[in-house]
Amino acid sequence: MKAVRGGAGAGSDRTRSVVLLIIHREILMRLRSRVFRVGTVLIVALMVVAALIASVVAGRNTSVQVGFVDSTAALAQPFSATAAALGLDVTIVAVDDQAAGENDIRDGGLDVLVDGSATDPEAVVKEQLDPTILAALQAVVRQQALESQLRTAGLDPTAVEARIAAAGVKIRGLEPVDPQRTPEILVGFVVAYTLMMSLSFYGAYVAQGVVEEKTTRIVEIVLSTVRPSQLLTGKIVGIGLVGLLQLVIIASAGFILVATTHIVTIPSVGATALAVDLIWFALGFYLYATLFAASASLVSRQEEVAGVTAPPVILLIIAYILVYTVVADPSSVASTVLSMLPPFAPVLMTFRMATSDVPVWQVLLAMALSVATSLAITAVAARIYANSILRVGSRVRLIEAVRRR
């Protein structure tokens, strides 16, 4: 007779090792899948292509070629200085005569030709003159006219300019002004959008994994040795980590591309803010993945997944739409309450944190509520999972699924 093996083991150790095994398998299988590898490479490749196109388009437009003939050459230097002060990127070109300059403009080699005289210049363009270039040119010409008038009146232009520069208006704001509010709203939208998209994408991934186990019937063997809650947790954590890895790869590729091509300026985002956003991704993922898994376990065919997982997807879309309510006043009572509600918190709280100063207690409370809700959903989801996972064929009604087996 065979001796009874000590298979029982300590409960928590056993749970941990089982969940770790499931996590390991999920990660291994997802990383091996073509969807993941090809998908990640494709997204990064698309980003590279987009960045290249953007930098080529941007590169063509950067420097404005401005030509000066001999009679207007005196304006070239002051123009260059004024343009630089206005943040314009101009290149000064010396042109032989008016005819040559006009030819260059027609060829596209020159954007603006300044001819005529230094006191009465004429700007020749192909179609229209960029208003900022016009403003710079006018400022130079007016400055020169002013200086010549001052000299005629016997005044020292340098002294007058110093007096003018000293005169000014002081600004006194009654409330502190947020100098970077616009870029922060942009960051907020990007973060909220990324969260919504990634939560629904990886949530769908979890749903698909659940149904896969049902269709392949492996679940009957696995559930004879693993608790539904363990299987659920392992699946969610494994797929969540893979999702995080893919997000990190895509985000790193994005940062590297932006840093090397300078196509857009990224507003500086603090490391703390980024870390908190990642925590919100994790919390949001936990909450939504449980919802997706529970919904998906009601059906047994991949074709039915989209229909049955509509409720969590709709919740995410509502959360994103509510961003437009919150943006009006991130600190209002409505914004505060909405951003605390667990299904909306991951999207709305990150948005509020990006666009305004949110009291720490509100963030912590929202996080606590989110975790508590996730735990409650996990318990219900594990039951739905256990009750409906053996039912193959027609969709299981929710009420039946929640009942005891």
Partner 1 sequence: MDRRLGAGAYRLAPNDRTDLRTETFRMSESTLQIDRISKRYGDVVAVDDLSFEIQAGQLFGFVGRNGAGKTTTMRIVLGVLTADSGEVRWAGLPLDFASRRRIGYMPEQRGLYPKMHLLEQLVYLGRLHGMPGQTAHREATRWLERFGLADRRNDELQALSLGNQQRVQLAAALVFDPEVLVLDEPFTGLDPVAVDLMSGVLRERAQAGVAVIFSSHELDLVERLCDRVGIIDRGRLVACGTVPELRGRGPQRYWVDTAPAASDWWSSVPGVTVVRSEGTRALLEPAAGVDDQAILQIALRAGPVHEFRPAQPALVELFRSFIDEGRP
Amino acid at residue number 180: Q
Minimum CB–partner distance for residue 3 and partner 1 (Å) = 10
Residue with Cβ nearer partner 1 (7 or 87): 7
Residue with Cβ nearer partner 1 (225 or 265): 225
Give the torsion sign (CA, 174, 179, 181, 184): negative
Looking up tokens 């700007």, which residue turns up? 123
Minimum CB–partner distance for residue 396 and partner 1 (Å) = 13
Minimum CB–partner distance for residue 383 and partner 1 (Å) = 12
Minimum CB–partner distance for residue 54 and partner 1 (Å) = 38
Minimum CB–partner distance for residue 218 and partner 1 (Å) = 4
Minimum CB–partner distance for residue 293 and partner 1 (Å) = 17
Residue with Cβ nearer partner 1 (237 or 316): 237
Minimum CB–partner distance for residue 240 and partner 1 (Å) = 20
Residue with Cβ nearer partner 1 (18 or 207): 18
Residue with Cβ nearer partner 1 (44 or 392): 392
Q: How open is the CA angle 94-84-103, to the nearest 5 degrees?
A: 30
Euclidean distance between CA atoms 175 and 137, whole angstroms: 38
Residue with Cβ nearer partner 1 (24 or 262): 24
Which residues of this chain interact with partner 1, rule CB under 8 A? 1-2, 4-5, 7-9, 14, 18, 21, 25, 28-29, 32-33, 216-227, 390, 392, 404-405
Residue with Cβ nearer partner 1 (76 or 207): 207
Euclidean distance between CA atoms 252 and 274, whole angstroms: 13
| Contact yes or no for 267/178 (Cβ under 8 A) | no
| Contact yes or no for 317/304 (Cβ under 8 A) | no
| Contact yes or no for 366/340 (Cβ under 8 A) | yes
Q: Are strands 112-116 and 121-125 parallel, antiparallel or unpaired?
A: antiparallel
Minimum CB–partner distance for residue 39 and partner 1 (Å) = 16
Q: Which of 300, 351, 304, 342 is nearest to 323 (CA)?
A: 351
Report the SS3 class of residue 122: strand
Q: Are strands 64-68 and 90-94 parallel, antiparallel or unpaired?
A: parallel
Residue with Cβ nearer partner 1 (34 or 163): 34
DSSP string, 39-94: HHHHHHHHHHHHHHHHHHHHHHHS-EEEEE-GGGHHHHHHHHHHHHHTT--EEEEE
